[in-house]
Amino acid sequence: MNNSLSALGAKSRLDDLDQLVYLKDENNQASVEPVGLLCEGDHLYVIQVSYYTLGRGAEINRGAVYIRKTQPASSLSKPGQ
């Protein structure tokens, strides 16, 4: 898990898969391959776990990182300029 997050650019180190936030369906059930989320600053890391045993050794088969890009107020143009 930490290797996968690190490959995506995350600096956090987790001790357990339970430290991720998971999406659940309308029946409050995680999918067979749960999607775990980690927020770190302006980054959202998303990994899909292919085998989940509430412990170590799960295989991560997909991941993505989303970045919120912000612009400082001083660089915004004023109306009419």
pTM higher than 0.85 for the full model? no
Chain-centre distance for alpha carbon 51: 17
pLDDT category, 22, cuts 50, 70, 90? confident
Q: What is the DSSP letter of 32?
A: S
Could you write out the DSSP letters of every residue in 49-75?
Answer: ES---SSS-PPEEEEEEEE-----GGG
* pLDDT tens-digit readout, 35-59: 889 999 889 999 887 755 555 556 6
Cβ pair 59, 49 in contact under 8 A? yes
| Residue-level pLDDT at 54 | 52
Burial readout 6-36 (b: 16 or more C-beta within 10 A, e: otherwise): eebebeeeeeebeebeeeeeeeeeeeeebbb
Domain boundaries, the chain: 2-69
